[in-house]
Amino acid sequence: MALDNDYKRSEKLSTDEVQSGNSLWWSRNPMAYDWHGRIKVPKFSPAWFEAIDAAFLHSSRLFASAAQPFDQIMPLRDLHGARVLEIGCGMGLHTQTMAAAGAEVTAVDLTPTAIEATSRRLAIHSLQATVLRCDAEDLPFASGSFDFTWSWGVIHHSSRTARIVREISRVLKKNGECRIMVYNREGMPARIAFIRDHVLRAKFLRQTFEETLYRSSDGFSARFYVREQFEDMFRAFFKNVSSDICGQESDVIPLPSPLRQWALAAVPEAYLRKAQAKRGAFIFLKATTPY
């Protein structure tokens, strides 16, 4: 199956074909934050992981970094001894973070590249976790297996996102919690796609805005959710659901990188943090007590 953007978004594919495309795309394009190939050390080496982590931590700094990385959004103190499921482990930083906090982590991903990267990362840091390749639309775990589920920027790429939500609720214990990030349809990247692509490039003449968003995203497929819509999906399976908006510097100051770096010097940190919570690219959802 071809993987170029024009093919993948102009043909009508079955859900199984979409999942196959997702696996192939992310295997070939792992989320390493090295957009321009500037990291020159060997892939999966300690120095390589340090370089990609630095980029990820910086991009998350307005909403996720405090005393230690991600402790503003991960309940790290509560995870010691907990059985944790991570859906979409990617390059493994979140797996490492939760394992280092004392969690009993099971990390799953659709791609062999992510499984290899996460396994190598854990070995480098002498940490233990179970790392499995599987499709989160059909998780191979018994009901009530986990205390906590984490997924960062993954399930909106699935061909059947609601099926993953159902699986999350099934494998969580009755007092369990999940925290999930997906793309925000009302965030800055979606607004830019609307103005730049849909309007100025006149793509509205031949496709819907949903198709414009689809084509502008990373991955083989992706959905952008309105906050209330995404919450409603979880309310079908969970008693308590809430969400917040979060984002990056580029969401606050949507300029080319050299100009943004100049502008950042004149913008107060307090404004950046406040603005990312209004027009950030991500919806961050919390849900507890599955039915």
**pLDDT tens-digit series, residues 127-150:** 999 999 999 999 999 999 999 999
Output the pLDDT for position 68: 86
**14-32+49-290 has CATH 3.40.50.300 classification:** no
Q: Which of 274, 56, 260, 184 is nearest to 65 (CA)?
A: 56
Specify the residue for token string 């970094």: 65
Output the pLDDT for position 11: 52
pTM for the model: 0.93
Q: What is the pLDDT of residues 40-58, one digit of tens each?
A: 999 999 999 999 999 999 9
Residue ranges per domain, the chain?
A: 14-32+49-290
Output the pLDDT for position 6: 40
Output the pLDDT for position 4: 41
Q: How far is CA 171 from CA 87, 149, 247, in A?
A: 12, 9, 29
Please name the residue ranges forming H helices in the chain.
5-10, 15-28, 46-59, 93-100, 112-124, 161-171, 188-192, 209-216, 227-235, 249-252, 257-264, 269-279
Maximum Cα interatomic distance, the chain, rounded to a whole number of Å: 55
Output the pLDDT for position 10: 39
Output the pLDDT for position 2: 36
Q: Which residue numbers in the chain have pLDDT < 50?
A: 1-10
Please name the residue ranges forming H helices in 154-194.
161-171, 188-192
Output the pLDDT for position 219: 86
HSE at residue 68, side-chain half, CA atoms within 13 A, is 12
